[in-house]
Chain A
């Protein structure tokens, strides 16, 4: 708390006048609203800092303790869920002065999400990777990406060992094709089976999710996933404040911390509102399709019933809900 205020002080001296974009609910905004010179701003800042610490200092650490001792999200009552959402929203605005829209929307009854990827259409642009990183607030320092695009040589066919997922040349490259992978949200997920604390589970709409605050960071799920779907926060994730996506879901793209696992959530903050995941939305060639596989009239069902679909590592029995097909 105090360190934050000292940092603000330093910023003010370095950058001159600063306008906070908080709603002013905790007093900081009011301090910064008027244009001031350095001397009086110092007075105002110190006064504001003291006031803020007095007002919010205790509740700040209270929130932290309550957050630490809360239980597994799966077992929380609706009141407990609301309480943790409130705490997280408050802590975020205390830390940054900005508001987030943190949802805990449950699965829509009658939905089971599936995904289809058209191998003929992918050009290797990687717009999906970019959109995913921005939508889901992934650590920029370690360049965490949920999605991998594998460039394959037509001579070798679908051969992942010989594929290259770190290409940096113009795409699509001559004689090559592209296949994307991410978490496949298996119906029989091995990651869920091995988690010692049930921090990861499959929701009713088929999305495999993680309770970031419950994960102990043992990385057993990382070992168990056959599809390179899971990512670990080896350090405290860093997302520049102006790039943080403020539309968040508790089980989706809310900000994580070091030592916990994360992964693609089929953009649960979007899909439970009827929107497509960011990758589907971003793909300019329409290579990605998403929808409710229970709906017999959906695009995804049409693909499953009419195109020659296949899944990866079918023999492992994981029943992934991510199908590939070609034109």
Chain B
């Protein structure tokens, strides 16, 4: 009863807090809402006419939606890079950033679920996955594993910060005995969600581009580069726009994580390129299509090379200490964009090209697909803004329980 009253009060106060702010904030939220409305209309068109309004086909069965899903699972998993030092290594410097990291994780997970839902041919049938009323093909289908681990990770990343903020809202200290076990679990779980997502593709022997042992580890490396890179940008914005204290030291430490992860990612890229091109076999043909084009089909070639260049330059900047200090933000943006290309449609689309009998059908996303994709990113930004504002509000005492 007490819990319900306090929660109700927390929601009320938070709602009041997030509906007020400066003009820039209102413009931001309005723009996001407008984009989401356009996306909703686009989704209606897709529901009405079917997925034929997208650029996907029997040859390229997954496109922009699943590409973004794959990338964002990595971003969500990367929150663990702040959780681990904060709670387990008890590094005080990370303490303020971890809340933001968990907010990013929640927003990214919501985006992931949105991307999967809009990709479904029959979203009204998704209840078929619920064991008991439906039939979940666990443990055979990696998709069944993915559903379980993503929902579990979302639950962890909502309940732990919620508990901590709930305590802070009341001016109390959160009980370590309650949240530390969950935190430890979430560290392993984060690695789990991304390996499982990688296994979705890694297990398909029909698609040799994905069917290699390095895909899972590569996912982890690129996730731990892209996720914290995004968090650095966001922390920079938070420093600018709020009074929430993020020290230079915190950002410095996170940037080290990004640097190492980006370097490992590059090493793995080199390993992949070597395996495909040292002695090209029939199995290398998708890599051939991606990097060099095939028979005049080369839609992805400019994208992948730009992505790799962004990655390489960003990694270089991060590696050199002086540059890392001076050009951190631009390096993070470049890295984020590069990995988005390389792990998003630079991974998913070439897996389908050429097809099983060597036929090449290229993929170009349609306007509907692009509109829905942008709308889901807007949704993520919207959710994150709310979560961050509430979290920071409670931490700074703007939102507190009135006795």
Q: A317's closest neighbor in chain B, by CB? A: B205
Assembled-state Cα–Cα distance A173/B312 (Å) = 51
A residues near B51, Cβ cutoff 8 Å: 217, 232, 234-235, 258-259
Are A216 and B50 in contact (CB-based, < 8 A)?
no
Number of inter-chain CB pairs below 8 Å: 145
Are A222 and B52 in contact (CB-based, < 8 A)?
no
Instruction: Select B58's contact among A71, A162, A222, A316, beta carbons within 8 Å.
Output: A222
Q: B54's closest neighbor in chain A, by CB? A: A234
Are B122 and A234 in contact (CB-based, < 8 A)?
no
A 186-199 binary contact with B (CB < 8 Å = 1; else 0) = 00001001111111
Are B357 and A165 in contact (CB-based, < 8 A)?
yes
Tell yes or no: A309 within 8 A of B by CB: no
Instruction: Select B61's contact among A214, A219, A233, beta carbons within 8 Å.
Output: A219
8 Å CB interface, A271-309 against B: none
Q: A222 → chain B, closest Cβ, in Å?
A: 4
Q: B372 → chain A, closest Cβ, in Å?
A: 16
Are A235 and B49 in contact (CB-based, < 8 A)?
yes
Quick one: given A196-B136, A232-B58, are A260 and B356 in contact (CB under 8 Å)? no
Are A194 and B143 in contact (CB-based, < 8 A)?
yes
B residues near A259, Cβ cutoff 8 Å: 50-51, 120-122
Q: B294's closest neighbor in chain A, by CB? A: A161
Quick one: given A219-B121, A259-B51, are A161 and B358 in contact (CB under 8 Å)? yes
Tell yes or no: B367 within 8 A of A by CB: no
Tell yes or no: A163 within 8 A of B by CB: yes
Assembled-state Cα–Cα distance A64/B137 (Å) = 26
Q: B367 → chain A, closest Cβ, in Å?
A: 16
Are A260 and B141 in contact (CB-based, < 8 A)?
no
Most chain B beta-carbon contacts within 10 A, residue among A196, A199, A235, A317? A196
Are B206 and A316 in contact (CB-based, < 8 A)?
yes
Tell yes or no: A310 within 8 A of B by CB: no
Are B58 and A197 in contact (CB-based, < 8 A)?
no
Tell yes or no: B119 within 8 A of A by CB: yes
Are B359 and A218 in contact (CB-based, < 8 A)?
no
B 33-57 binary contact with A (CB < 8 Å = 1; else 0) = 0000000000000000111101011
Tell yes or no: A220 within 8 A of B by CB: yes
Assembled-state Cα–Cα distance A162/B357 (Å) = 9
B 104-139 binary contact with A (CB < 8 Å = 1; else 0) = 000000000000100111111110110001111100
Quick one: given A233-B50, A234-B56, A235-B50, are A148 and B120 in contact (CB under 8 Å)? no
Assembled-state Cα–Cα distance A234/B285 (Å) = 27
Q: B138's closest neighbor in chain A, by CB? A: A196
Are B137 and A196 in contact (CB-based, < 8 A)?
yes
Quick one: given A75-B135, A190-B206, A234-B56, are A216 and B61 in contact (CB under 8 Å)? no
B 86-119 binary contact with A (CB < 8 Å = 1; else 0) = 0000000000000000000000000000001001
The interface size bin for chain B is: 35 or more
Instruction: Select A227's contact among B124, B143, B354, B356, beta carbons within 8 Å.
Output: B356
Tell yes or no: A270 within 8 A of B by CB: no
Tell yes or no: A225 within 8 A of B by CB: yes
The prevalent SS among residues of B at the interface is loop
Are A220 and B141 in contact (CB-based, < 8 A)?
yes
The prevalent SS among residues of A at the interface is loop
Q: A97 → chain B, closest Cβ, in Å?
A: 26
Are A196 and B144 in contact (CB-based, < 8 A)?
yes
Are A218 and B121 in contact (CB-based, < 8 A)?
yes
Are A235 and B52 in contact (CB-based, < 8 A)?
yes
Quick one: given A219-B121, A223-B207, are A228 and B357 in contact (CB under 8 Å)? yes
Assembled-state Cα–Cα distance A68/B123 (Å) = 12
Are A216 and B120 in contact (CB-based, < 8 A)?
yes
Assembled-state Cα–Cα distance A161/B353 (Å) = 12
8 Å CB interface, A191-231 against B: 193-199, 214-220, 222-228, 230-231
A residues near B143, Cβ cutoff 8 Å: 194, 196, 218, 220
Q: B285 → chain A, closest Cβ, in Å?
A: 8
Instruction: Select B141's contact among A160, A195, A227, beta carbons within 8 Å.
Output: A195
Q: A249 → chain B, closest Cβ, in Å?
A: 21
Q: A142's closest neighbor in chain B, by CB? A: B52
Assembled-state Cα–Cα distance A226/B358 (Å) = 11
Assembled-state Cα–Cα distance A233/B123 (Å) = 14
A residues near B269, Cβ cutoff 8 Å: none
Quick one: given A160-B357, A218-B121, are A224 and B126 in contact (CB under 8 Å)? no
Most chain B beta-carbon contacts within 10 A, residue among A74, A150, A216, A235? A216
Q: B387 → chain A, closest Cβ, in Å?
A: 29
Quick one: given A215-B125, A258-B121, A259-B121, are A228 and B355 in contact (CB under 8 Å)? yes
B residues near A227, Cβ cutoff 8 Å: 206, 356
Quick one: given A150-B357, A196-B136, A223-B61, are A218 and B128 in contact (CB under 8 Å)? no
Are A217 and B121 in contact (CB-based, < 8 A)?
yes
Are A223 and B62 in contact (CB-based, < 8 A)?
yes
Q: A313 → chain B, closest Cβ, in Å?
A: 8
Q: A194's closest neighbor in chain B, by CB? A: B141
Given contacts A228-B355, A231-B58, 18 further A-B contacts (CB under 8 A): A72-B134, A142-B52, A162-B358, A190-B206, A194-B137, A194-B203, A196-B147, A197-B135, A197-B136, A215-B121, A216-B126, A217-B125, A223-B207, A228-B357, A232-B61, A235-B49, A259-B51, A261-B121
Q: Which 5 A-B pairs have the closest CB atoms?
A: A217-B121, A259-B121, A161-B358, A226-B206, A196-B143
Interface pairs (24), CB distance under 8 Å: A72-B128, A72-B135, A150-B357, A190-B204, A190-B206, A194-B137, A194-B203, A195-B137, A196-B137, A197-B125, A197-B137, A199-B128, A216-B129, A217-B51, A218-B121, A223-B204, A226-B206, A228-B355, A232-B51, A232-B61, A234-B54, A235-B52, A258-B121, A317-B205
